[in-house]
Amino acid sequence: MVTGSFLDVFDMPAICELCRNDALEAVYTPERSQRCIRVHICANCGLVQSLPRADRAPRRTAAVSSGADWGNVRYGKGFRTQIAVDAVLRHRGRADSISLLDVGSNRGRFARAFLAEAPNAAVVAVEPDERVAQSCAELERAELVVARIEDAALESGRFDVVHSCHTIEHLAHPRDVLADHWRCLKAGGLLVLDAPNIALIGADDIVEEWFIDKHLTHFSERTLVRMVEAAGFKIIEKPDKTDPENLFLVAEKSAAAADRVAGDWEEVEEAHALIADYLAARARNLIALGAVAAELTALAPRGVAIWGAGRIFDTLVVHGGFDTKALRLLIDTHLREHVGERHGCALTGPEALTDARPGVIVVMSRGFAGEIAAEARRFAPTAEILLYTDLLSRARTRLAA
């Protein structure tokens, strides 16, 4: 069990979490960090990581922010449920008697979906946040452990599958936790792992601060695969190269953990180039947001609704100076379960479009723009649909002219 105060992390030695080298180079200070984090690149292996590793910081209230202080609005895991359920069933049949460890079970969406598909399975759900952990408390064939995964002290060789969705990036010592997953798995057991993909910062339309306080390790496909392999696993399903937002892989318990991880100069260079491109693109886009805000304000007489009240919307207000009084409606089907308003606008569901009858609906989303646009057309078939990416592109073109 790990002990110590939040302030102890400032005295931790700066050792790389992948190669255990001390060649960490500070390259960037994120915007509006409440934990005073700085982003570092390991000059030996290229792993990007934030210091100090303040994974046990005092709990904060929900912050729907475009800066590093975004946190405690935990709904993103739900989008990744089906891909993980399908992967487990692909490698372990529905009728199998499966013992599964669900790491960071959150509100239990994965556990419920998996148990519904696998009638002979049993789940141990580990979740440190007692405010949401009780969602798993009454599930049949499920055991709830309210603890951090580092402190759970689970039996060796107990599980057929370990499922970990968007948790590893929060851990102060992810390689050690992966090694413990290896210990808890039976011979030939599976690790089903999902994490944010740092490749997203290479997006041309990035505006939000990607390096948030609660994420301590920032994986590329290469560094995540190397860390999983160093912990003693063999990759049997690699991440999808067409997905710039997530790194989803399946690995099998194999050899013992590696003692040493070699350097990777190519990864070091790619990490430096990626962060440099991110800083340049984000600076350019933040300037362009002022023109986006001006265009939306000019459209206000037609009745403007924005669908998506998250990080991009926050950036539009904070950096673009958008006055939310110009809005007729602000829609967010997921955030409204956690916060009631954003920048003075009450959050609604899409059904409000029927009565509001906006002339323009702006989709403030990157990954789900197509799905949202289709849903918006269903509720408001006569409204003009504008995508955030198109608005930003037009703004940059105008500024460059």
DSSP state, 59? P
For 197-331, strand residue ranges (E) read 217-218, 233-237, 246-253, 304-307, 327-331
> What pLDDT does 131 receive?
77
Find the Cα–Cα–Cα–Cα dihedral 255, 260, 261, 263, rounded to 10°.
-150
Q: Domains of the chain, with CATH numbers?
A: 289-400 (3.40.50.720)
| Max CA pair span of the chain | 65
> What pLDDT does 6 receive?
40
Contact residues for 104 (Cβ-Cβ < 8 A; gap 6+): 77, 126, 127, 128, 149, 164, 165, 166, 167, 170
With beta carbons less than 8 A apart as the criterion, state whether 275 and 202 touch: no
Amino acid at position 197, single letter: N
> What pLDDT does 11 receive?
47
The rounded distance, in Å, linking the Cα atoms of 50 and 37 is: 6
| Alpha carbon 18 to its chain's center | 20
The rounded distance, in Å, linking the Cα atoms of 158 and 148 is: 18
DSSP state, 80? G
Given the DSSP bridges, would you call strands 99-103 and 304-307 parallel, antiparallel or unpaired? unpaired
The rounded distance, in Å, linking the Cα atoms of 127 and 226 is: 26
> What pLDDT does 3 receive?
39
The rounded distance, in Å, linking the Cα atoms of 6 and 1 is: 15
3-state secondary structure 133-195: HHHHCCCCCEEEECCCHHHCCCCCCCEEEEEEECCHHHCCCHHHHHHHHHHHEEEEEEEEEEE
| Alpha carbon 56 to its chain's center | 18
The rounded distance, in Å, linking the Cα atoms of 71 and 57 is: 12
> What pLDDT does 62 receive?
66
With beta carbons less than 8 A apart as the criterion, state whether 75 and 253 touch: no
Of the candidates 120, 276, 281, the residue with the CA atom closest to the CA atom of residue 204: 281
DSSP assignment of 326-384, as one string?
GEEEEE-TTGGGT-SEETTEEEE-GGGHHHH--SEEEE--STTHHHHHHHHHHH-TTSE
Query: Each residue's pLDDT tens digit in the chain (401 positions)?
Result: 333 444 444 445 689 999 999 999 999 999 999 999 999 999 999 999 999 987 776 666 667 889 999 876 555 666 899 999 999 999 998 888 999 999 999 888 999 999 999 999 999 999 998 877 777 888 899 999 999 999 999 999 999 999 999 999 999 999 999 999 999 999 999 999 999 999 999 999 999 999 999 999 999 999 999 999 999 999 999 999 999 999 999 999 998 888 889 999 999 999 999 999 999 999 999 999 999 999 999 999 999 999 999 999 999 999 999 999 999 999 999 888 888 899 999 999 999 999 999 999 999 998 889 999 999 999 999 999 999 999 999 999 998 87
